[in-house]
Structure 1
Amino acid sequence: MIRFAAAVILLSALVHAQTIRWHGSFESALKAAQKLQKPIFVVLVERECPDCRTLFATTFRDENVVRLVSAKTVPVILTRENEDYPIELLYTLAYPALFLLSPHEVLLKGPICGIVDAKSLEKELFDE
């Protein structure tokens, strides 16, 4: 019985541990994208943005979104207040804003603005 309970707890922890590993700077994401030859998935947020928090609490916890973003892209979170990214390429007035860039900083998709549900994100970014 104790082994069963331990197994359930471990399995539960593994399921909940599935998260996207975000880069914290555009430069580190760009270097990783160039090395891995994967596109950069940029999520541009504002610090005091309720829709941004909702997106992270819902869509980015979806199992399929986590799998797709993690396997197919180099994900990075950027804040509007931090000017350490190509502002002219990632220009938007609406937040959150999602972009897909090539490893050579060419815009592939976006911006997709606002709260996007998991199915819409899969279709818009990954054609799934």
Structure 2
Amino acid sequence: MQTYAIAGECLQQIGGDCPEGWVIMQQQRPKAGSIAQADGSWAEPLQTVPASCTRRQGLLALLAFGFKRADIEAQIAAIQDETEREEAQIEYEANVWERANPRLQLMWVALGGAPAQLDDLYRLAVTL
């Protein structure tokens, strides 16, 4: 039986006639959330970025990315403005690290991390 899907979506139809605008797929959807491609293949499901992680998870993920606590603490100590340094220390010591927190984003860049990698860091963190 033929499988059809809409490119860019995970909806599929098995059997029947191919609806207008749909793509003939090479196989049925391999797993929930797989995204149909225009060439008839399936792409991995999109991974959402977690909104937060615990401090413990964040520290373990940072370690996996090659950053040690000493690196982070040195970066915080190097902040010239006393108020900004205190804010950074408070955010670093918080029990929950929010992905959308501008201070944590700035700290990540200051450590040399690329903005897109921060999403990967949070994805990893919630698995630890």
TM-score by length of 2: 0.27
Higher relative contact order (CA 8 A, sep 6+): 1
Find the structure with the greater CA-based Rg: 2
